[in-house]
C-alpha cells in the first residue's frame, strides 16, 4: 500500500531527497562542474534548496566549489560545484574456479584498476580466500586507494548463494568454497558493506550497465534483459523492468534444466550424479565437444571447442553442419525461455559465446521459427569482465546509501 | 533515477498522499467507522493532518461523519469517519465466445450484482457488443446504480489486445470482434474510464485478489503468481512481485508454444493454419479428447472430457492411465515455465482444470521430478468468475485515481 508511505514523509526526508537529486545531476557528468542555476534547472528545485543541498554535500566531502567554468563578473566569482568522485572507491570481484578478477572504481563508476590473479585447479576455499585478499590488497595499492577508502565491496561467484546470510551454499567448481563465511571474513577485515551474489546475476548487471545492453537502457527502451551464461553449465541472469529478478526461491532462470529430449509421454527419470540438467547435457560445452568428435570435425583437448568454430567460420562443411546442429538445439531451449519471459533482449556470454556470429547467426535464424515476437540476440561485450563490472555496479549502489544518507 | 522525482514533491503532493493514506485506512475495513486518533495511529500522520484529509474526503462525498461508535463524553460528541463505499461503483466484464459476465461492485470492492448473458455461437462483434451493453444496463438497474454512477469499467476478452489503443487485434474465437472500437464505443456511452485487457491477465488478477492466491498475498508472502488457462488453448497470466508482467512485446507467458515434441536436432517446421502452438496440440482439451478416444476411455461429444475425469476419479484403470499421461505431458511443459520464472505459486484454471485433484495430483507428482524448488499448484477457486473478478479489481484501481486526485 504505497499510500501509507506518505506518512513517513517529513522535512528531513525531503531534504535528503533533494540532496540525492542534486548528487544525481552532478554525478551524471562527473568530469565537469555545474553552476547552481544549471542544477536548479535540471532538478526542478529552487535555487535556495540547491544551495542548501550543495552545502551539505560539501560538508561530507562529496562536492567541491571552483570559480572556474564560465565567464566571471568582476567582484563576484560564479560558484561551480564538482562531484568529488575520488572521495571514495568501491571494489567488484569475480571469484571463479580459474581466476579472481578485482576491479576498483571511483564513486562515478570509473574503473581505475583491474587485476587478474590465477587460481590453481584444486585450490581449496581458504586458498581462494587468500588469493582474493592478496588481489584486493594489490589492486588497491595500484590504484593508490587505502583499504579504508573502500566504501563497498561486492563479489560474484558460481554456485548457489544465500545473499542475506552472505554464504555460498553450493559451489561444485571450487572445492571447499561452499560454507566458508567469506562475507563476514571480508567485513571484519574491511569494515565496509560486503555482498556476495551468484556470478551470472552480476554478469547481467554488468552487461546492462557497460556492456551489450547499455545503449538500449540509456535510450530509455525496454529495460528487461536476459543474460545466458553458455559454457559447460548453462545459467541465466534476468532483469525485468529495471530490477534483477531471482524468483520466489532464488531459482529463476534455470534454463539448463529444461527437458526437450525425453519422449513427452515418458515420466522423468533419476537425476545424474554430476548435477547437470537435461539442456546442459544436450548443448553445453561438453556436448558440443562430443558432437564435433562424433562428426569428425576439428576440436581441441577436453572441452576446447574453439577449433570447431574456427573451422566453421572458415567454411569447413563438416564443422558448419555441427554448428548448425548446436544452434538448432540451443534455439529450441532458449525459445522456451523467450516464450515465457518475452524479455526483448538476450545477451549470450560464457565460453561458448566466444564463437561469435558463426554460432549466433544460425541461433537467431532458428529462434525466429520458434518465437512469436522479435528479440535482439547479442554476444556479450564485456566477456570475462562482465561479472566484475556487475559487481562494481552493485557496490556503487551500496555506496550510494552512504552518499545520500543524512 | 528515482532521486529526480524528489523535485516534484511539494505541499500539494504531500496533501494528496495524506488523503490517499487516510482513505486506505478507512477502506481497509469499510464496514466500520474510525475515530481521528485511530486513523492518526494507523497512518503515522498528525491529528491535524488527519482532520484536514477527512474534511477533504467529506467534501468529495467519500467520507461521512457519525457520532456513533465509542463512549461519548457529554457536550463533545466524538467524531467517527466512515468510508462511503456506495459513493460510486465499478463494473468488471468478462466477454467470451459463449457468455458475457457483468459484475458490479461498490468502491470497497463488494460485488453487488453478477449477471451472465449467453452468446450464441457465431455471434458477430457488433452482436457481442449489443449483448455487453444490454447486460451492463440490466446489471446496473438490478444493483440500483445509474450508469452515470459507474466510475470505471474494465473488460477482459480472449485474443491479442492493444491495451493502449483499447482495441482487440486478434480474437479467433469471436468472429468480427477484432478491430471493433469497443472501448471508445463504451467510453462515448458511459463517460468514464474504460479499459480492455486479455482475459487471462485479468484472471490472474482475480485469483490474486479474491481467489486461490488471496490468502498468500494477505499474509505478506511472495507476491508472484502464474495463472494457467488450460482449455483448448493454453495461456497464462503472470504476476511478478505484485505487478502484472506482460513482457516487452506483451507476449510473455506463451506456454502453449513451447515445443517438447519434435526431435531437438530437427529444425522448426511451418506453423499450422489454426494458429495453435506445439504444447496446445500436445495437451490441450482437443488432444486430451483424442487420447481418451484412442485408449477407449470414456469421453463425451467433441471436446467434452468431463466423462474421462469422472471415470478416472471412480477408479477406471483405462481412464486413470490416460489422465496420468495427460499429467505427465502437462507437467513437462509447465516445468519449463517454472524453471524460468520460479513463481512459487501456480493456479490452474480453464475447462480442463475442472477435473480437479484427479488431474492435479499426478501433475504435482511429475512436477517434483522436473523442478528444483517447491511450487504450490492449486486449482482456480473463482472458476468461470475469475476474469470478471480481475476486471472489477482493475476498474477499482482506475477509480482509485478519481478518489485520491486533488
Residue-wise pLDDT for A46-90, tens only, equals 999 999 999 999 999 999 998 755 555 555 556 789 999 999 999
Dihedral sign computed on CA atoms, order B217, A240, B256, B153? positive
SS3 category, B327: helix
DSSP state of B76: B
Q: Which domains does chain B have, with CATH numbers?
A: 2-85 (1.10.10.10), 88-205+387-404 (3.30.420.40), 212-381 (3.30.420.40)
* Residue B125 near residue B142, CB atoms below 8 Å: no
Question: Which pLDDT tens digit goes with each residue over B212-225?
Answer: 888 777 776 668 99
Q: What's the whole-number mean pLDDT along residues A276-285?
A: 94
Q: What's the whole-number mean pLDDT along residues B151-180?
A: 85
Q: What's the whole-number mean pLDDT along residues A201-226?
A: 85
Question: Which pLDDT tens digit goes with each residue over B116-162?
Answer: 999 988 888 899 999 999 999 999 999 999 999 999 999 999 888 88
CA B58 to chain centroid: 31
Q: What is d(CA A253, CA A228) in angstroms, rounded to the nearest whole number?
A: 9
User: CA geometry: angle at A142 spanning A140 and A145, to 5°?
Assistant: 40
Q: What's the whole-number mean pLDDT along residues B12-29?
A: 85
- How far from each other are the two terminal CA atoms of chain A, in whole angstroms? 26
Instruction: Mark which residues 324-363 of A lie under 8 Å from B by CB.
Output: 325, 328-329, 332, 335-337, 339-345
CA A277 to chain centroid: 24
* Residue B211 near residue B239, CB atoms below 8 Å: no
* Residue A225 near residue A347, CB atoms below 8 Å: yes
Contact assignment for B366 to A249 by CB distance below 8 Å: no
ipTM of model? 0.87
A405 close to B (CB below 8 A): no
B258 close to A (CB below 8 A): yes
pLDDT of residue B77: 58
pLDDT of residue A74: 57
DSSP state of A64: E
Q: What is d(CA A23, CA A63) in angstroms, rounded to the nearest whole number?
A: 9
Minimal Cβ distance to B251: which of A248, A251, A342:
A342
CA B103 to chain centroid: 13
pLDDT of residue A174: 82
Q: What is d(CA A340, CA A363) in angstroms, rounded to the nearest whole number?
A: 18
* Residue B267 near residue A365, CB atoms below 8 Å: no
Please provide the average confidence, as pLDDT, over all residues in chain A: 89
Q: What is d(CA B168, CA B287) in angstroms, rounded to the nearest whole number?
A: 28
Sequence length of chain A is 406
pLDDT of residue B175: 79
β-strand partners of B168: B161
Q: What is d(CA A43, CA A24) in angstroms, rounded to the nearest whole number?
A: 9
Count other Cβ atoms within 10 Å, centred on residue A272: 11
User: CA geometry: angle at A229 spanning A226 and A232, to 5°?
Assistant: 150
Q: What is d(CA A39, CA A81) in angstroms, rounded to the nearest whole number?
A: 9
Residues of B in contact with A17 (CB under 8 A): 3, 5-6, 9
CA neighbours closer than 13 Å in the CB half-sphere of residue B214: 14
Lowest mean pLDDT among A170-174, A193-197, B160-164: A170-174
Q: What is d(CA B262, CA B271) in angstroms, rounded to the nearest whole number?
A: 13
Instruction: Mark which residues 193-222 of B lie under 8 Å from A by CB.
Output: 222
Q: What is d(CA A253, CA A257) in angstroms, rounded to the nearest whole number?
A: 9
Q: How far is B260 from chain A (nearest CA, A)?
A: 5
SS3 category, B16: helix
User: CA geometry: angle at B302 spanning B300 and B308, to 5°?
Assistant: 35
Element (H, E) at B350: none
A10 exposure class (CB count in 10 Å sphere: 0-12, 13-18, 19+): exposed
Pairing, β A194-198 against β A150-157: parallel
Torsion of CA B299, B302, B305, B311, to 10 degrees: -10
What are the cell numbers at B53? 484529509
Q: Tell me: pLDDT of B25 over 70.
A: yes
Amino acid at each position: 500500500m504505497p499510500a501509507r508511505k506518505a506518512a513517513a514523509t517529513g522535512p528531513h526526508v525531503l531534504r535528503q531527497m533533494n540532496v540525492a537529486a542534486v548528487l544525481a545531476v552532478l554525478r551524471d557528468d562527473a568530469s565537469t562542474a555545474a553552476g547552481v542555476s544549471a542544477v536548479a534547472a535540471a532538478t526542478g528545485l529552487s535555487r535556495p534548496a540547491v544551495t542548501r543541498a550543495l552545502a551539505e554535500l560539501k560538508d561530507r566531502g562529496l562536492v567541491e566549489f571552483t570559480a572556474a567554468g564560465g565567464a566571471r563578473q568582476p567582484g563576484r566569482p560564479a560558484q561551480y560545484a564538482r562531484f568529488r568522485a575520488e572521495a571514495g572507491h568501491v571494489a567488484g570481484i569475480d571469484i571463479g574456479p580459474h581466476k579472481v578478477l578485482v576491479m576498483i572504481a571511483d564513486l562515478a563508476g570509473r574503473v581505475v584498476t583491474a587485476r587478474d590473479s590465477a587460481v590453481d585447479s584444486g585450490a581449496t576455499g581458504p586458498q581462494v580466500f587468500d588469493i582474493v585478499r592478496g588481489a584486493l590488497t594489490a589492486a588497491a595499492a595500484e590504484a593508490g586507494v587505502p583499504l579504508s577508502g573502500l566504501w563497498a565491496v561486492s563479489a560474484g561467484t558460481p554456485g548457489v548463494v544465500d545473499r542475506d546470510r552472505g554464504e555460498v551454499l553450493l559451489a561444485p567448481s571450487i572445492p571447499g568454497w561452499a560454507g566458508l563465511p567469506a562475507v563476514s571474513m571480508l567485513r571484519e577485515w574491511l569494515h565496509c558493506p560486503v555482498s556476495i551474489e551468484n556470478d551470472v546475476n552480476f554478469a547481467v548487471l554488468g552487461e546492462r550497465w557497460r556492456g551489450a545492453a547499455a545503449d538500449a537502457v540509456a535510450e530509455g527502451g525496454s529495460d528487461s534483459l536476459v543474460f545466458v551464461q553458455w559454457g559447460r553449465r548453462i545459467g541465466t541472469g534476468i532483469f525485468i523492468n529495471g530490477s534483477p529478478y531471482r524468483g520466489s526461491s532464488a531459482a529463476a532462470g534455470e534454463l539448463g534444466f529444461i527437458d526437450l529430449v525425453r519422449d513427452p509421454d515418458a515420466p522423468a527419470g533419476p537425476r545424474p550424479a554430476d548435477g547437470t540438467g537435461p539442456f546442459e547435457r544436450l548443448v553445453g560445452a561438453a556436448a558440443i565437444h562430443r558432437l564435433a568428435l562424433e562428426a569428425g570435425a576439428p576440436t581441441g583437448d577436453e572441452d576446447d571447442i574453439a577449433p570447431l568454430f574456427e573451422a566453421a567460420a572458415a567454411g569447413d562443411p563438416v564443422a558448419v553442419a555441427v554448428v548448425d546442429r548446436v544452434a538448432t538445439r540451443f534455439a529450441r531451449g532458449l525459445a522456451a525461455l523467450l516464450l515465457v519471459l518475452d524479455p526483448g533482449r538476450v545477451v549470450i556470454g560464457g565460453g561458448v559465446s566466444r564463437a561469435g556470429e558463426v554460432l549466433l547467426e544460425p541461433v537467431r535464424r532458428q529462434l525466429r521459427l520458434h518465437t512469436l515476437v522479435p528479440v535482439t540476440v547479442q554476444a556479450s561485450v564485456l566477456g570475462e569482465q562482465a561479472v566484475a563490472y556487475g559487481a562494481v555496479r552493485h557496490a556503487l549502489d551500496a555506496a550510494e546509501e552512504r552518499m545520500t544518507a543524512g
